[in-house]
Structure 1
Amino acid sequence: MEAVTALHWLRPQWLWALLALPLLALWWRARSRRRHAWTGLVDAHLLPYLLEPRGTTRTWARMGAAALGYALAVVALAGPAWRQVEQPLWQSAMPLVIAVDLSSASLAADVPPSRLAIARAKVARVLAARDGGQVGLVAFAGDAFTVAPLTEDAANVALFLDALAPDVMPVDGQRADRAIEQSARLLTRAGFDRGRILLMTDHGDADADAAAERAARAGYRVDVIGVGGEAGAPFRGANGALLQARLDAASLRTLAASGDGDYRAVTLDDADLRALGVLDANAVDGASQSGERGRAWQDEGYWLLPPLMLLALFAFRRSGGAVAALALVLLLPWLPAQAADLWRRPDQAAHARLVDGTAAYRREDYARAAALYAGVDSADAHYNRGNALARAGRYPQAIAAYDAALKRQPGMADAIANRRAVEAAMKRKPPQGPKDGGAPSAGGQSPQPGQQGQADPQRSSPQGAPGEPTQPDRPAPAAADNRTTPEAKPADAQAQAEADRAQRQRIEQALARAGRAEPPDADADAPRAETAAQRERRLANEALLQRVPDDPGGLLRAKFRLEHERRLTQGRPTE
């Protein structure tokens, strides 16, 4: 009874299909009666005396099996569920715009070391703690300006923290209403219908309350942190006058309530930020919901599919067919299906083997690379196979591979050069059998590239994986500089050293003739003597560099000034 009570239907509208079951049974019965050939020729009251009685039990068994299968299918489609399972709740990261008061009052020291320093620290803490979600920064005084638009890169916003100061603002004042409007404008332009605004200031007013109410109606919650102390502190305004700054907590609470948000007084730790829930991008109404889980009904209709499939097997006309089909299903090998190769064209399959051979060649698995290249019948594949065999010390097979490449592309310069190099290596010392999975023996030497017009004296990649990968459906023709060549080894190390020494001497002599040579034993780190003109030029350059102003807030100052002038031309008043 407990299971029946807990039964829940996810798609109950399918249960209406059960009403058709009696109609289907009547149709089946009528059809079975009309199916006999004598039904339409003999009177109904004479049929029992002329025909042999049919297997009534068998007929009813078929009808029962069909009705049961129909009922199982309908019940499975209805989605029966009798238990609930936990499922994680998806939470979208809430965007946040921080509005910081940069008026002259922010220099007051009623909270140590100053209101401005505390506000910077709070913004830095929010940027460092938020994991996901877009964040933006707005600075305001007599007007509000965008420091950084909404972005997921919090580090990019943090770059402007040290430049936040009252002197970057073009006009002084404390227009919190414009800060809220600018913050809501950023959220709207970014396409968010929900978001949060964190306002940092010391008092509110009627205009700010109205702006917060409009933002809340638009879906943007306004939270407030009161920066300052109730005792207040003096500060010097933009005009040089000495003024008094004081925290008005009551007006800030009203402001936060108008914006459907919360108010907290600033603290030296993270208590205020945690109480508002701005440290977590998934926080809603001040409480973090990240990791919260819900419960959902589990669809158990799939349990009805095995008996339904068994009933479907016996729908065959002969029982032997059903048994054979069931045995075939049970005896099939349960192996993962890989149908990708069935849909590849021959050129795509060949190119895939070339790519795999390239990967094996770069792993120095030359035996594997040669086997993969052998599966492609092209000049480039045989050429690469010859290179892999030569690297493995199998010189006769490498020469045969080069011959196969030349047979398909006569005159292939790289194949001719590498074939001669392999023949020269065989004459110098007979190769030994490959060791350790295809690596050449210690005594075997690889052929030398760079002979007979070899394009690149360095070892290049095998064909099939050049620097820019070719398309799998249209392999690009091979180029001379993207085929593999066996690794180069100097035939005579002493001769090579002598040649390098002679080349260095020729370079030094040429530089000496040009008047730009230095003694070979000159100390590169020793200070060079400079003339009076060079010393004067160096000192002048250093003086010019020292005159370059080191002002990190210059960009913001110029940006805000231009924006302020543009707004003035549009007729927008400011304080």
Structure 2
Amino acid sequence: MEMFRFAHPDYLYALVIIPILVILFWLSRRSRRKALERFGQMETLEYLMPNVSKSRPVFKFIIWLFTLSSIIFALSRPQFGSKLKTIKREGVELIIALDVSNSMMAEDIQPNRLERAKRAISRLVDNLSDDKIGLIVFAGDAYTQLPITTDYPSAKLFLNAVNTEIVPRQGTAIGAAIELATNSFSPQFEGNKAIVVITDGENHEDDAIGAATAAAEKGIIVHTIGMGLPQGGPIPIYRNGQKDYRKDKEGNVVITKLNETMLQQVSAAGKGIYVRANNAQVGLNTLFNEIDKMEEAEMESLVYSEYEEQYQWFIALALLLILVDFMTLERKNKYLKNIKLFGR
């Protein structure tokens, strides 16, 4: 099976000029006809101009449209992939589990914990090359936001859509996120796998340590990043454009604090490392350096290694059409006018 592609597909946008030229040609023909009608009836004028052809200019215009189209296709360099080969790439598979609970809106890390984490993940994606990445979001439940992929632009697109409303049920189910991530790696991938949990560590839902232990037993490293400062901060809420803070049943402002002990225990159970974020750095680069030290497994993929150029066919067609246009006169040939090749 051959693979077809355009080496420079941007040139195809020039085809938009074709319908524009058709409209301009039609307007020109209509304007010319109206101008002639001012001098008399068309039947009389046609009798007075026996060598003028109505169809030849149209035919020549169509030739030039096809000529222009052929040149545009030639510039876009159509190619057929002729040979397949297997290439080996080195990389690891990385799944980031991002906490999107309301506590991640605390502003002890500027501008807030969630936004700072998203910016750090975006910078991490910019630095990836052969690694695969996936994204899981969690609060009271865990969901796959992006299946594991090497499509980095899509990863950033899905990341931009993350907010605290993306998971309906509130909470911090770190264990569920680790379990989902553990089952989300490529089944056929036998290389190194890592999970990075980014959260403030306020886990009230499940056994995160047990989930990290189970992942480690499968050869999956679990790292954690603590988002938040030890002293914590209030959780802002906005009503009618006014900023307020979440309060408990007694009316006291809720202070969300980083549960550093929990995250240290999770990373230890997952045989990974723990990094605390602050206003200077989040820690993803530190963890990625650790991931880079892992033995990178080879990932195989089939690619077309050779492409055969096809633009010469369109160049040949354009030259042929130019020759046909050159041999086609606007007016009827007095020797060939009885041959009704173009009608009238």
TM interval, shorter chain, is 0.5 to 0.7
Give SS of 1:92's match: strand
Give SS of 1:147's match: strand
| Residue 319 (structure 2) pairs with residue 487 (structure 1) | no
Q: Distance in 2 between matches of 1:363 and 1:222?
A: 58
Contact 1:193 1:220 in 2 (8 A): no
Closer, same or farther in 2 for the Cα pair 1:360/1:260, shift >3 Å?
closer
Q: Distance in 2 between matches of 1:486 and 1:109?
A: 69
| Residue 293 (structure 2) pairs with residue 284 (structure 1) | yes
Q: Could you tell me which amino acid in structure 2 is paired with residue 248 of structure 1? A: N
Closer, same or farther in 2 for the Cα pair 1:204/1:167, shift >3 Å?
closer
- Aligned residue among 252, 257, 271 for 2:263: 252
Cα deviation, 1:357-388, whole Å, max 9, x if unaligned, reads x9988777xxxxxxxxxxxxxxxxxxxxxxxx
Q: Distance in 1 between matches of 2:313 and 2:178?
A: 63
| Residue 226 (structure 2) pairs with residue 226 (structure 1) | yes
- Aligned residue among 172, 179, 182 for 1:181: 179
Q: Distance in 2 between matches of 1:492 and 1:258?
A: 83
- Aligned residue among 121, 125, 133 for 1:123: 121
Calculate the TM-score normalised by the size of structure 1. 0.34
**Post-superposition shift, 1:492?**
7.7
Structure 2 regions of 5+ residues with no counterpart? 1-87, 238-244, 298-307, 333-344
Q: Could you tell me which amino acid in structure 2 is paired with residue 217 of structure 1? A: E
Closer, same or farther in 2 for the Cα pair 1:126/1:492, shift >3 Å?
closer
In our comparison, the structure showing a higher alpha carbon Rg is 1
Q: Which structure is higher in strand share?
A: 2
Q: Could you tell me which amino acid in structure 2 is paired with residue 134 of structure 1? A: K
**Post-superposition shift, 1:273?**
2.1
Q: Distance in 1 between matches of 2:98 and 2:313?
A: 60
| Residue 168 (structure 2) pairs with residue 159 (structure 1) | no
Closer, same or farther in 2 for the Cα pair 1:360/1:209, shift >3 Å?
closer
* Residue in 2 that maps onto 1:549: none
**Post-superposition shift, 1:190?**
6.1
* Residue in 2 that maps onto 1:274: 285
Contact 2:91 2:296 in 1 (8 A): no
**Post-superposition shift, 1:268?**
4.5
Q: Distance in 2 between matches of 1:257 and 1:138?
A: 21
Q: Distance in 1 between matches of 2:224 and 2:151?
A: 24
Give SS of 1:262's match: strand
Q: Distance in 2 between matches of 1:106 and 1:271?
A: 14
Q: Distance in 1 between matches of 2:311 and 2:129?
A: 39
Give SS of 1:132's match: coil
Q: Could you tell me which amino acid in structure 2 is paired with residue 247 of structure 1? A: L
Q: How many equivalent residue pairs?
A: 222
* Residue in 2 that maps onto 1:171: 169
Contact 2:120 2:282 in 1 (8 A): no
Give runs of ≥4 in structure 1 deviating > 3 Å.
188-194, 236-242, 267-271, 358-364, 489-496
Give SS of 2:283's match: helix
Q: Could you tell me which amino acid in structure 2 is paired with residue 162 of structure 1? A: N
Q: Could you tell me which amino acid in structure 2 is paired with residue 163 of structure 1? A: A
Give SS of 2:91's match: coil
Calculate the TM-score normalised by the size of structure 2. 0.56
Closer, same or farther in 2 for the Cα pair 1:177/1:491, shift >3 Å?
closer
Closer, same or farther in 2 for the Cα pair 1:270/1:115, shift >3 Å?
closer
**Post-superposition shift, 1:284?**
2.8
CA RMSD of aligned residues (A): 3.6
Contact 2:221 2:271 in 1 (8 A): yes
Closer, same or farther in 2 for the Cα pair 1:129/1:493, shift >3 Å?
same
**Post-superposition shift, 1:142?**
0.6
Contact 2:94 2:193 in 1 (8 A): yes
* Residue in 2 that maps onto 1:264: 275
Q: Distance in 1 between matches of 2:101 and 2:313?
A: 67
Closer, same or farther in 2 for the Cα pair 1:360/1:132, shift >3 Å?
closer
Contact 1:204 1:252 in 2 (8 A): no
Q: Distance in 2 between matches of 1:194 and 1:203?
A: 25
Closer, same or farther in 2 for the Cα pair 1:216/1:204, shift >3 Å?
farther
Q: Distance in 2 between matches of 1:257 and 1:108?
A: 26
Closer, same or farther in 2 for the Cα pair 1:491/1:211, shift >3 Å?
closer
Aligned identity (percent) is 25
**Post-superposition shift, 1:191?**
4.4
**Post-superposition shift, 1:134?**
1.2
Q: Distance in 2 between matches of 1:166 and 1:233?
A: 17
Q: Could you tell me which amino acid in structure 2 is paired with residue 160 of structure 1? A: F
Q: Distance in 1 between matches of 2:132 and 2:264?
A: 26
Q: Could you tell me which amino acid in structure 1 is paired with residue 293 of structure 2? A: V
Q: Distance in 2 between matches of 1:191 and 1:198?
A: 18
Contact 2:192 2:296 in 1 (8 A): no
Written as runs of structure 1 = structure 2, the 5 A alignment for 1:330-341 is none
- Aligned residue among 193, 196, 206 for 1:195: 193
Structure 1 regions of 5+ residues with no counterpart? 1-89, 291-354, 365-458, 462-483, 497-575
* Residue in 1 that maps onto 2:111: 113
Give SS of 2:208's match: helix
